[in-house]
Amino acid sequence: MIDSTYDIKIVFLGPENAGKTSIINRYCQSLFIPETLPTIGAGFFSHSLQVNDTNTNLLLWDTAGEERFRCVTPALLRGAQGLVLVYDLIKPSFHDVTVYLDMFLETVNVDPEHLPILLLGNKYDLVESSTEKSEEIIQEEINEYCDKHKIHHHAFVSAKINYGIDESIYLFIASLLNTLLKVDDPIMIPISNKKEEKLCF
């Protein structure tokens, strides 16, 4: 029986053109718009998600990746209960990702070990044809980065072909709820049977 609905504020951060808006559009509205305009300041989306017997109202904040809007971003970060970092798999720049991660951690003043963070590598549909690195090498680099920065959730996704987004966010929210609610009987996180999906949880 579902007794309560939990509002959960999630902020999406990442470099310009990484695909933050496309991921959110795909997740919330099942849409993919090939040519999206750059986000000016921030955008807001709401999405209802039921995790087992827990109802959640996800408050998703889409932030601008352009450097000139970074001064606006810290005000949007306060009160966030989770962070989604998005990077472009075709030209991954962990320096850029780290800039946003550091800004977030400084603003919320919390150890990443105690704050759920999801790292999403977008444009997975283009990896084989557009990148000089093999998928295995990219995965090794991601694993090293996640270990270094205490990031426990990572997935390869594609907003264009709707790959991996729903499942990775569901698993992330389930883990986040276990942390927020500190339940004695934790929410069971299902193991995917889709072996081809690159989810690391």
Q: Is 137 helix (H, G, I), strand (E, B) or coil?
A: helix
What average pLDDT score do residues 129-137 get? 73
Q: So what's the pLDDT on residue 159?
A: 96
What is the rounded end-to-end Cα distance, in angstroms, of the chain? 27
CB 122 within 8 A of CB 19: yes
| pTM metric for this prediction | 0.84
The rounded distance, in Å, linking the Cα atoms of 30 and 159 is 9
Q: 93-124 in b/e burial notation, b at 16+ Cβ within 10 A? A: ebebbebbbeebbebbeeebeebbbbbbbbbb
Q: So what's the pLDDT on residue 109?
A: 78
Q: What structural domains does the chain harbor?
A: 5-200 (3.40.50.300)
Phi (first) and psi of residue 104, to 5 degrees? -65, -50
- pLDDT tens, 35-93? 765 665 568 899 999 998 899 999 999 987 555 545 656 778 888 899 999 999 988 67
Q: Which residues pair with 15 in a beta bridge?
A: none
Strands 5-13 and 42-51: unpaired
Looking at the predicted structure, is the pLDDT value of residue 189 above 50? no
Angle between helices 165-181 and 20-29 (to 10 degrees): 90
Q: So what's the pLDDT on residue 34?
A: 79
Give the chain's mean pLDDT. Answer: 82
Looking at the predicted structure, is the pLDDT value of residue 193 above 50? no
- pLDDT tens, 138-176? 889 999 999 999 999 999 999 999 999 999 999 999 999
Q: What is the CA radius of gyration of the chain?
A: 16
The rounded distance, in Å, linking the Cα atoms of 179 and 77 is 19
Tokens of 162: 């709707």
Q: So what's the pLDDT on residue 144?
A: 94
Q: So what's the pLDDT on residue 194?
A: 42
Q: So what's the pLDDT on residue 3?
A: 64
